[in-house]
Chain A
Amino acid sequence: MTVETSKYRELGLTDPEFELIVEKLGHEPNDVELAMFSLLWSEHCAYKHSRNLLRRLPTEGERVVMGPGENAGAVDIGAGYAIAFKVESHNHPSAVEPFQGAATGVGGIMRDVFALGARPIAILDSLRFGELDSVRSRHLLDGAVRGIGHYGNSIGVPTVGGEIYFEAPYEHNCLVNAMCVGIAKQDEMVRAAAAGVGNAVVLMGASTGRDGIGGASVLASAELGDGDEAKRPTVQIGDPFEESKVLECCLELLGKGLLVSLQDLGAAGLTSSAAEMASAGGVGIDLDVARVPLREADMAPFEIMVSESQERMLAVVEPAKVGEVLAVCEKWQTGSAEIGTITDSGQVRVLRGEEVVGEMPVEALVDGCPLYDLSPAEPDGWIYGNRVSLAADAPAGEALLALLGSPSIASKRWIFEQYDSIVGSRTARRPESADAAVLAIAEAGKAIAVSIDGNGRRVACDPYAGTVEAVLECAQNLACAGAEPLGLTNCLNFGNPEKPVAAWQLDRAVSGLADVCTALGVPVVGGNVSLYNEGPEGPIYPTPVVGMVGELPDPEHSAPSAFAGEGDAIALLGPFMPSLAGSELAKLRGELEMGLPQPEIAAVAAACATVREAVRAGVLASAHDVSDGGLACAIAEAAIGAGAGCRVDLQHLRERGCSPEEALFGEGPGGFVITGERAQIEALAGDGVAVLFLGKVGGDAIEIAAGDRSIALPLADAERAWRSLAV
């Protein structure tokens, strides 16, 4: 039998890759083998265009408990506990079917976290859509938000934070990245590596159906285009109730010490879970598809092996404990079946009863895929186009209103009110009340702060500097909460890496990520890569999304982002050097072009340390980092949140050599808007950290003196613009 050329190409394999598979097997693959190879050798599973780059990232640190290669990363939080966390994309499923795509994205990332033995305690999301004047974007936004809420709310894990941008390059290829944070007792955590020849392999959770077949290869590893409607059956359907039972069941099993190892079934289903467990443990595995509980009786072996039915977990169990494991599954009314055995063969053998229907070396499946170096080329100029929605000569007050009302800056209340942000009784800072979410960790007598960030537009302007800025923004958000970073997870959302520009963006972004994490001493403990994010009109903005977890001693000592007291002094702290390059204002004016100023990482880190200590000491009444829309927007947000006006003068900032417009709306890392008692906050200056007194909280208007571009805006008008986001 000869495999037709069209068949393996349809599954995403190249001719040389197919020849290599034949060579490694010693014969042409049958249907089961071809299906399994095509999935494990897809970009989504094999990272064949990104693995070489990812080696640059720093992954070690004294607080790292688990790093890349496990289901999620984990850091030590003290008292025998660890915080596990990971961010992952579900972009293409969400672009095809936003509700289920986003819902199962949340379900999948939670399974990664409880596969370690950690109870999920928080979800954050990073979302990207086209501009909201498009019907398609509003449909995708509405569906994705409802999907995230549906899954997270139903399972009882709070959605505590996130970020969202609306930009034309995401019109056809939206991004839905979900991050989950969990807490685990370190002595109850397990790794994903299979171990113990003769041990049983138990499949737990939902039964296996025909949903999501080919998701990893067909959907996740190719560009979107015409005919995406027909791909809808490749999107999985989520069942949060099943997941909540599997979650409680797995945590009870791990708490009782009944499992040797545990792995979730995500992309490529049983194929990747079994092969990766075997690979990590250096063992072989036999699986009998006839013992897999099915939704439809007539499924072929290859369908069973590649199904991406959700809410399933695979465990390795000592034979003597299998009965006890099945009893716990029964208590939680979730499915369970012993479907295989750990062997010393070094092979993944797929059986149907007595019949062997597929047999492949573990090594060839998991590590045999060729890795490709990229052929990067810097573009000649700005490739994404410009659209004018604000006249260049619009008065500053009008510009501020336009910025506050732009969906990427406006209040996200319409979105986060659709999420349960408080279940679990840990949420000390709810969405929009502080720059980072703050969660109490009473188990260790402290708290954590979590933030997720990434500005694709700025990364498009300069992939290196933009990526550095994303990490600095996370660090600044954590500093406002009084937290010190412990670790970072990332999701690299890029276009087609086989094209030179996307390859260049990816290469520069990974270098930026590696450099800033090394400089800050923050290890990268896990992540995910999502490539081929392109629509008919071209690639998305290159969008590295970073999620950072930090610790603080006391959940009650984190600063709010809104002003807190009438008469408080307002100051700008840090090495903020505003520029209109890549700014939200440049976007509105249609003036985007390549290039960003290079960030001074060490100076920003010093400012973060000063703010962190000041917050912990209770010196600051509020702290908010300067981000999208510049200083004017940061000040306006802090004022609106407090329901209090302010009067500030940016003259001293202009002494750094910037124009009135740059002082108002220029962006860049390193700036904090802080408030408190004037003498105390001015005393924070020193050790290379600058503090500029700007003015005072009070009145019912936002008054900003900036030479010939001064602003006096009634607070109510600013609030109306800022609260305008709804679909």
Chain B
Amino acid sequence: MRWGVIQFPGSCDERDALHACEIAGGEARLVWHEERDLEGIDAVVVPGGFSYGDYLRAGAIARFSPAMEAVAEFAARGGPVLGICNGFQVLCEADLLPGALLRNEDLRFVCRQVELQVGQLNPPEGTQSSIPRGETLSIPAKHGEGRYWAPEEMLDRLEANGQVVYRYAPGQNPNGSARDIAGVTNEAGNVLGLMPHPEHAVDAMTGSTDGLEVFERLAKVAA
């Protein structure tokens, strides 16, 4: 398993993501934002941070980077892509994932450990979680623009298709996301984005190892 972690100027969590990929299993390398070549990479992670400063809308500039053009082609071929926090925002801006991330309901940045419920009815082939249904993951969230939003009919469709793969557990929604949605996939199931940070939940020393589930899920798509 060879992971590629995209590095934009302004990325913050790229080293954490690199480390998490290695713990999850395999080799990992950074992919500079000007690179177009993803040759030999089995799965891509678009990490958290403030790509290009995010002074416009979060992720609005990063989607035009050369590396993201390559990621779009990679995703179209069925390659597994994980977007975390800013990466989720970038993937939504790039139309690789449905919906949008708006400013948190209380207009403040929030950093907090949250409980996530995993899975859905009828998840796409190969993307089932190893976690039994009903169990929760403890993963930290940290963002100022993490309120998931999509039109009602799109939300209905996402739920019907099994594309809502992570929800904040009752009472845990930190940002006012629609229907407590924390993470979604594309229709094919190979592109996954979530606001909480699984790469910060891969070591008991820093609080939790529950984030490994997310990386394992992606590895299954790659396999």
Contact = CB atoms under 8 A, between A and B. Distances in A.
Interface of A: 146, 149-150, 153-156, 239-242, 244-245, 248, 332-333, 416-428, 430, 440, 555-556
B9 interface: yes
A244 B10 contact: yes
Given A428-B205, A555-B205, A245 B9 contact: yes
24 contacts: A154-B10, A154-B54, A155-B12, A156-B13, A156-B49, A239-B53, A241-B9, A241-B55, A244-B50, A245-B9, A248-B9, A418-B109, A418-B111, A422-B111, A422-B207, A423-B13, A423-B200, A425-B15, A425-B16, A425-B200, A425-B203, A440-B205, A555-B205, A556-B204
B111 A421 contact: yes
B222 interface: no
B16 A556 contact: no
A418 B11 CA distance: 19
B219 to A, nearest CB: 20
Nearest to A332: B9
Nearest to B55: A241
A479 B9 CA distance: 39
B108 interface: yes
Given A155-B12, A245-B9, A425-B203, A420 B53 contact: no
Interface string B54-76: 11000000000000000000000
B12 A156 contact: yes
Given A421-B111, A422-B207, 12 more contacts: A153-B144, A240-B50, A240-B53, A241-B55, A417-B112, A423-B200, A425-B16, A425-B200, A425-B203, A440-B205, A556-B204, A556-B205
A82 to B, nearest CB: 20
A422 B142 contact: yes
Contacts of B198: none
B80 interface: no
Contacts of A146: 108
A146 B109 CA distance: 8
Nearest to B49: A156
Nearest to A421: B111
B33 to A, nearest CB: 10
**Which one of A153, A155, A332 has the greatest number of beta carbons of chain B within 10 Å?**
A153
B9 A153 contact: no
A399 B12 CA distance: 45
Contact of A417 (B50, B53, B110): B110
B12 A423 contact: yes
B52 interface: yes
B12 A241 contact: no
A420 B111 contact: yes
B92 to A, nearest CB: 20
Contacts of A430: 207
B217 interface: no
Contacts of B54: 154, 241
B140 A422 contact: yes
A149 B143 CA distance: 11
Interface in B166-223: 197, 199-200, 203-207
A418 B110 CA distance: 5
B196 to A, nearest CB: 11
Nearest to A249: B9
Nearest to B199: A425
Nearest to B13: A423
Nearest to A242: B53
Nearest to A150: B109
Given A241-B52, A425-B206, A149 B9 contact: no
B103 interface: no
Contacts, number: 86
B2 interface: no
Contacts of B11: 156
Contacts of A423: 12-13, 16, 48, 142, 200
A426 B205 CA distance: 9
B5 to A, nearest CB: 13
A114 B19 CA distance: 23
Most buried by A among B11, B52, B109: B109
Interface string B72-111: 0000000000000000000000000000000000001111
A426 B207 CA distance: 11
Interface in B1-23: 9-13, 15-16, 19
Contact of A422 (B10, B204, B206): B206
Nearest to A416: B111
Nearest to B34: A331
Most A Cβ at <10 Å: residue of B10, B49, B199: B10
Contacts of A241: 9-10, 50, 52-55
Contacts of B49: 156
Counting chain B CB atoms within 10 Å of each CB, the highest count among A156, A245, A248, A419 belongs to: A156
A594 B204 CA distance: 48
Contacts of A556: 204-205
A521 B127 CA distance: 58
Interface in B151-167: none
Instruction: Give the top 5 A-B pairs by smallest Cβ distance, nearest first.
Output: A156-B12, A241-B53, A154-B50, A425-B16, A420-B142
Contacts of A424: 15-16
A423 B206 CA distance: 10
A240 to B, nearest CB: 7
A555 B205 CA distance: 7
A242 to B, nearest CB: 8
A616 B150 CA distance: 51
B57 to A, nearest CB: 15
Contacts of B197: 422
A666 to B, nearest CB: 35
A156 B142 CA distance: 11
B53 A154 contact: yes
B39 to A, nearest CB: 22
B166 to A, nearest CB: 18
A239 B142 CA distance: 20
A165 to B, nearest CB: 22
Contacts of A154: 10, 12, 50, 53-54
Nearest to A426: B206
A395 B144 CA distance: 43
Given A241-B9, A244-B9, A424-B16, A153 B205 contact: no
A427 to B, nearest CB: 6
A418 B15 CA distance: 22
Contacts of A420: 12, 109, 111, 142
A430 B13 CA distance: 17
A426 B206 CA distance: 7
B22 to A, nearest CB: 12
Contacts of B16: 423-425
B97 to A, nearest CB: 23
Nearest to A145: B108
B65 to A, nearest CB: 12
A427 B213 CA distance: 21
Contacts of B206: 422, 425-428, 440
A150 B48 CA distance: 15
A555 B207 CA distance: 12
Contact of B142 (A153, A242, A332): A153
A244 B206 CA distance: 24
Interface in B34-56: 48-50, 52-55
A240 B140 CA distance: 23
Interface in B128-148: 140, 142, 144
Contacts of B108: 146, 418
A422 B12 CA distance: 11
Contact of A153 (B53, B109, B200): B109
B182 to A, nearest CB: 17
Nearest to B10: A241
A245 B112 CA distance: 27
A416 B113 CA distance: 13
Contacts of B15: 424-425
Nearest to A154: B50
A634 B204 CA distance: 27
